[in-house]
Amino acid sequence: MRNNRWLAAAALAACVWLSACADDAQPTPPPPEVEVVTVRPQPIANVIELPGRVQAIRTAEVRARVDGIIERRLFDEGTDVKAGQALFAIDPREMTAALNAAQAALARARTTSANAAQDLQRYDGLIADQAISKQEYDAAVARRGTAQADVDQARAQVESARLNLGYATVRAPIAGRAGRAQVTEGALVSASQGTLLTTIEQIDSIYVNFSQSSSDLLAIRRDIAGGKLHIPELGRWDVTLILEDGTAYEQTGHIDFLDLSIDEATGTAALRAEFPNPRRILLPGQFVRAQIGAGTRANGILVPQRAVTVAEDGGSVYVVGAKDVAEVRPVKLGRLQGDSWVIDEGLNSGDRVVVSGLQGVRPGQPVRIAGAAPKKAAEKAAATK
């Protein structure tokens, strides 16, 4: 009896303890609530972003074309110059002397030619009367031709000497912004060595040079062939520049050159865009980033930026799959378009991407979509119809 009472008391205590444990157990928390967007393919601009360098649209290196001593610099460094404007004066005395000598030689040759012409004129009457031999007449004709050739040669030497004298005044070959003078007064310049005097650059319009990898070009061609990408004519590719401080350049440019060969050293093809530069904001050598409008992707996918977790090898998003279970989906990111990422690979039409409530989402766990009716309530409502 005493053992039975003890067992009954123990059983009663166990029941009380189990009842208390049941009262302390917490209810299962509901699935986290999330907001989703259903992705749909849509036409989006295909923009390629590449680094580039600014280049003057025309550059002229002003070099010496005669030997001599620089007498004066005739322009202000760093200012705009006109085509044909005098930039440097080289001591012209040696060239002047050469011109005078050539003119004297021309005068002598003309005198000799005139004398030979008079002799030939006299011989014309004598040869008719057979007063001179045919040989003497032919010699007079030869002297007349030689004298005329000497005149032509002397005339060419005069023109060359006059041209060299003109080179003593160094003039701007093009209009543009003149750079720093590379020589000073008293410096000896040489035509054979092509002494650099200064450089002139035209920057009212400007070039931007950049390169595209051969693999990217191959992918673009493949997309064009497959109908995924529609590309306009080359001259209609709009280009926007992002300056070094992150601001966008105010003028829009256009691609005007695409190299049809690949650089063996870099594996890239060269491209060039032309931009108006009326305010001289772009300067040669400046680093920029070019955003090239290379057509339109017919079936592009956009996802809000807040839905994407960016990693070194790409990115990932949470997708709500079957039975409202969340799963991580790796994606290949394109570029940012406004506040959305362009998704190149990883998502399909109809995928539901989580854009809000990501803090409570775990892979493989169910979620509740905001605004959607609970499943049991929905099934009950459907059964009563």
* Segment holding 357, helix H or strand E: none
3-state secondary structure of 346: coil
Quick one: average pLDDT of 144-158? 93
Position 185 scores a pLDDT of 94
**Which residues are CB-neighbours of 343 under 8 A, at least 6 positions away?**
39, 301, 302, 303, 331, 332, 333, 334
Q: What percent of the chain stands above pLDDT 90?
A: 42
Tokens of 381: 């409502």
* 86-129 residue pLDDT tens: 999 999 999 999 999 999 999 999 999 888 888 778 777 776 76
pLDDT higher than 70, residue 378: no
The residue among 294, 287, 284, 297 whose CA lies nearest residue 241 is: 287
d(CA 294, CA 299): 15
Class (C level, CATH) for 42-55+204-369 = mainly beta
* 194-237 residue pLDDT tens: 999 999 999 999 999 999 888 888 887 887 777 777 777 666 78
Band of the pLDDT at 28, cuts 50, 70, 90?
Answer: low
Other C-beta atoms lying within 10 Å of the C-beta of residue 342: 19
The residue among 174 and 226 whose pLDDT is bigger is: 174
d(CA 74, CA 15): 111
Q: What is the CATH number of domain 65-90+168-194?
A: 2.40.50.100
* Segment holding 216, helix H or strand E: helix 214-225
Band of the pLDDT at 4, cuts 50, 70, 90?
Answer: low
The residue among 9 and 357 whose pLDDT is bigger is: 357
Distance (Å) of CA 30 to CA 21, 260, 352, 366, 369 = 22, 61, 20, 9, 12
Quick one: average pLDDT of 264-291? 92
3-state secondary structure of 176: strand
Tokens of 261: 């060969």
The residues facing 250 across adjacent strands are none
pLDDT higher than 60, residue 8: no
Q: What is the CATH number of domain 93-166?
A: 1.10.287.470
d(CA 332, CA 344): 5
**Structural domain spans, the chain:** 42-55+204-369, 65-90+168-194, 93-166
